[in-house]
């Protein structure tokens, strides 16, 4: 220690890492092909699963003939629902009074309820033999009537999908503030419309995959899962398989995207874990793309019938909406069927001052794959419907699209502001984002270009979309829907080991958000080390007592908040120990760049020296002063915080082919204090690209019998680089929220704002033809039908 203390006086300034474009720490591993995804896991004596999936949307199962499959070489077992009688159905519960839970069996028992539902399983020595045997299984179905359209499913006398769900009505809920109907009746202007957002697939580049390994000596299971929610999966498996949590470990290794589709518990996870224990061998399942498109939860699928009333000056006075959500065959665990459709009516008033509001939602069960979390959850539909009404109102009153928003957005002096559904907005840059987008739009110049283009036979259009979202949602909001899990808190454990190395442990599970980098930046800045010196452990239920996962734009706000609290507690221990070594007051000790020092003196050691003094050198510190260099803290923001943005889209439509080309896109967003601008830009860009798919390309289509018509990437189209224009992003920081880091969530915003902005741009481009967009995606063929129908009227 003497040599370490005899250095020349140092003047060190702690480097700042939060707000800096630190290169992603994940990249060297992932770009070199050294990542470890679930499909990469190979274990001795591993068995492979193949599922037989229903090819009928609604049918009784008369018989399943497995004899031929069971006799095939390499087949270990063939199983049907009767083989899992000891495992309970998946039931997503809720305390909402109007909610009717569905019962989802691991394998279909007496009937199937959507094309793609698992009916039987083959377990074999390899996937090839499992697939061959699965093809040999014959299922005798008796088709049943089906109501594919959600409105038809709610009509009296419609075919019943579940005996426990009367009238196919899973839930009904209404939000009301003031008398919206009366206010609209007296309004100077009223605009109205019926809007539809088609079903989407999350379509992560990595399909769902699971590997379960059984430890016979401990009667313990380790499940490797491509999941966003390892904690939820662990807790559910413990209940379903009757094992304590300390004998059930769920690990999310590298995960190749999720977008919400990996944010729920699936029957395949339960089956893989149960079979590994039953067969006492590792069991593996990796879904193919057909299975992904037919059995992974899907997104959106709502119809919104809405009316907006305005006064003579164009100020909003009331909003009314009727929403029907198609939740598919089952209410997904743990989020329930309420997640998507209830958020549509919750967020429908948006960032605007609307005195009176009534929004009613009904969720119908239909014979389609279940809907579940999808990037944006409810808000893309809400923003699409409301922002179309706002543009329709602007046209009615002859106002520019930015001006009508400026007259109605919640103003800085109005915060905190409670909208008609009860959601509370804290201070965010509603107007500031609009102003930045308005400058970027330069509407006067655009209208000149638009007129010139129309004269030349080209149709240009411009569209705005303003929105607000609640991010980093705390326990007070999480409890409101009545779910049996706590999604509102996160715990961080920061530890310095005997070598001086720093490890930060979280229950979150990254699936592409760069959490290894951003969490390391937070810990590094608070502790005084470099980001590359911090090892981030995440996605492993053995590493944390509780945690749900990564979803709902929560990681930076809640996980980052916990990281700051825990690191500050640990820093106090570091300073206390170093102060004893330096014989100074702890308040004099500073840290930075991996060094612990007292400014203006020659007192200087590194973290390895400190760890040696605390853990190994028994003469360095008094016995009663030794404290483990570890801290654990939790953070619960209670309500959450508001993120806001305005999106701007420009399109050009070919007048002959009606091909829609996005020529420009701009986002002005207030996400609070940025941890890493590179990561923030990447999240914005990725979200906008996903929103482009929502607006122009992606649609899961079903025929009148429930057969899916777009179950391949030849039919389900997604954006490529050719469809994406140059993206401009302006970051605003109007006022930092009250959480420890001043962070706002921003991972979903691109998908929330882009569809509405593009819909408004397309509508503006064809406004001279008397049509507007009410359904997304808008494709050339749909646009042709709109124009043809308009000509007939």
DSSP string, 448-463: HHHHHHHHTTEEEEEE
Record: fold of 2-35+489-635: Aldehyde Oxidoreductase; domain 4 (3.30.365)
Which secondary-structure segment (H or E) carries 516?
Answer: helix 515-527
Class of domain 302-475+638-792: alpha beta
User: What is the pTM for the complete model shown?
Assistant: 0.96
Does domain 39-144+208-286 fall under CATH 3.90.1170.50? My reply is yes
Output the CA torsion sign for 123, 129, 131, 133.
Answer: negative
* Burial 297-313, CB ≥16 within 10 A → b, else e: bbbbbbbbebbbbbeee
What are the beta bridge partners of residue 458?
654
Residue 573, C-beta contacts closer than 8 angstroms, at least 6 positions apart: 627, 629, 631
pLDDT at 6: 43
**From CA 683, how far away is CA 664, in angstroms rounded?**
18
Residues of the chain with CATH 3.30.365.10: 2-35+489-635, 302-475+638-792
Whole-angstrom CA distances from 751 to 349, 378, 408, 461, 690 are: 18, 11, 23, 20, 6
pLDDT at 475: 85
Residues of the chain with CATH 3.90.1170.50: 39-144+208-286
Please, are residues 218 and 473 in contact by the beta-carbon 8 Å criterion? no
Please, are residues 642 and 425 in contact by the beta-carbon 8 Å criterion? yes
Please, are residues 297 and 371 in contact by the beta-carbon 8 Å criterion? yes
Q: What does the chain come to in residues?
A: 793
Mean pLDDT by groups of 10 residues along the chain of 793 residues: 44 80 96 97 98 98 98 98 97 92 97 98 98 98 97 98 97 97 98 98 98 98 98 97 97 98 98 98 98 98 98 98 98 94 97 98 98 97 98 98 98 98 97 98 98 95 98 79 80 97 96 96 98 97 93 95 98 97 97 96 96 92 88 93 98 97 98 96 97 98 97 96 95 93 96 98 97 98 95 81
């Amino acid at each position: 220690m003497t040599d370490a203390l005899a250095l020349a006086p140092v003047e060190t300034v702690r480097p700042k890492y939060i707000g800096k474009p630190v290169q992603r720490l994940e990249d060297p591993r992932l770009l070199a092909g050294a990542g470890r995804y679930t499909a990469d896991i190979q274990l001795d004596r591993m068995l492979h699963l193949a599922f037989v999936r229903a090819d009928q949307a609604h049918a009784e199962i008369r018989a399943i003939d497995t004899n031929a499959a069971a006799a095939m070489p390499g087949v270990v077992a063939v199983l049907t629902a009767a083989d899992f009688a000891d495992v309970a159905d998946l039931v997503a519960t809720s305390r909402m009074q109007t909610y009717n839970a569905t019962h989802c069996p691991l394998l279909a028992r007496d009937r199937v309820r959507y094309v793609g539902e698992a009916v039987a399983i083959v377990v074999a020595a390899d996937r090839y033999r499992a697939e061959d045997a699965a093809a040999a299984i014959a299922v005798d179905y008796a088709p049943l009537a089906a109501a594919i359209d959600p409105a038809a499913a709610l009509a009296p006398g419609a075919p019943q999908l579940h005996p426990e769900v009367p009238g196919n009505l899973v839930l009904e809920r209404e939000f009301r503030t003031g008398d919206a109907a009366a206010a609209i009746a007296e309004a100077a202007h009223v605009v109205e419309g019926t809007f539809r957002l088609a079903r989407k697939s999350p379509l992560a580049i990595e399909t769902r995959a699971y590997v379960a390994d059984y430890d016979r000596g401990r009667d313990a299971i380790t499940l490797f899962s491509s999941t966003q929610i390892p904690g939820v999966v662990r807790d559910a498996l413990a209940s379903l398989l009757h094992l304590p949590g300390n004998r059930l470990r769920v690990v999310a290794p590298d995960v190749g995207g999720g977008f919400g589709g990996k944010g729920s518990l699936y029957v395949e996870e339960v089956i893989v874990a149960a079979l590994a224990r039953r067969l006492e061998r590792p069991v593996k399942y990796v879904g193919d793309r057909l299975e992904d498109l037919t059995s992974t939860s899907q997104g959106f699928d709502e119809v919104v019938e809405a009316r907006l009333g305005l006064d003579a000056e164009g100020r909003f006075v009331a909003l009314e909406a009727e929403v029907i959500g198609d939740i598919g065959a089952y209410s997904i665990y743990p989020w329930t069927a309420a997640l998507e459709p209830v958020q549509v009516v919750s967020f429908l008033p948006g960032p605007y001052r609307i005195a009176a509001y009534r929004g009613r939602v009904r969720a119908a069960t239909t014979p389609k794959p279940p809907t579940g979390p999808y990037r944006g959850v409810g808000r893309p539909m809400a923003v699409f419907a409301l922002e179309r009404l706002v543009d329709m109102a602007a046209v009615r009153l002859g106002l520019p699209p930015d001006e009508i928003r400026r007259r109605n957005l919640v103003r800085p002096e109005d915060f905190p502001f409670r909208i008609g559904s009860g959601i509370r907005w804290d201070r965010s840059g509603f107007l500031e984002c609009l102003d930045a987008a308005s400058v970027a739009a330069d509407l006067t110049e655009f209208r000149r270009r638009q007129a010139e283009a129309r004269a030349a036979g080209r149709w240009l259009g411009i569209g705005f979309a303003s929105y607000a979202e609640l991010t980093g949602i705390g326990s007070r909001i999480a409890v409101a829907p009545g779910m049996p899990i706590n999604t509102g808190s996160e715990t961080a454990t920061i530890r310095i080991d005997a070598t001086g190395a720093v490890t930060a442990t979280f229950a979150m599970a990254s699936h592409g958000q760069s959490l290894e980098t951003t969490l390391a930046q937070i810990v590094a800045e608070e502790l005084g080390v470099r980001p590359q010196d911090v090892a981030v452990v995440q996605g492993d239920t053995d590493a944390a007592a509780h945690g749900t996962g990564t979803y709902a734009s929560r990681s930076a706000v809640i996980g980052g908040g916990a990281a700051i609290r825990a690191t500050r507690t640990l820093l106090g221990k570091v300073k206390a120990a170093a102060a004893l070594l330096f014989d100074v007051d702890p308040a004099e000790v500073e840290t930075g760049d991996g060094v612990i020092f007292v400014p203006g003196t020659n007192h200087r050691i590194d973290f390895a020296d400190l760890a040696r003094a605390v853990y190994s050198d028994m003469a360095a510190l008094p016995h009663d002063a030794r404290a483990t260099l570890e801290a654990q803290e939790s953070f619960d923001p209670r309500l959450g915080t508001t993120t806001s943005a305005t999106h701007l889209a420009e399109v050009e439509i070919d007048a002959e082919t009606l091909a829609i080309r996005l020529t420009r896109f701009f986002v002005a967003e207030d996400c609070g204090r940025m941890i890493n601008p590179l990561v923030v830009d990447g999240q914005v860009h990725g979200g906008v690209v996903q929103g482009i798919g929502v607006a122009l390309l992606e649609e899961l289509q079903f025929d009148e019998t429930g057969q899916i018509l777009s179950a391949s990437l030849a039919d389900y189209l997604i954006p490529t680089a050719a469809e994406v224009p140059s993206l401009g992003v302006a970051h605003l920081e109007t006022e930092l929220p009250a959480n420890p880091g001043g962070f706002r969530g921003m991972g979903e915003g691109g998908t929330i704002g882009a569809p509405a902005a593009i819909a408004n741009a397309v509508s503006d481009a064809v406004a001279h033809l008397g049509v507007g967009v009410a359904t997304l995606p808008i494709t050339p063929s749909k646009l042709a039908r709109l124009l043809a129908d308009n000509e007939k009227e």
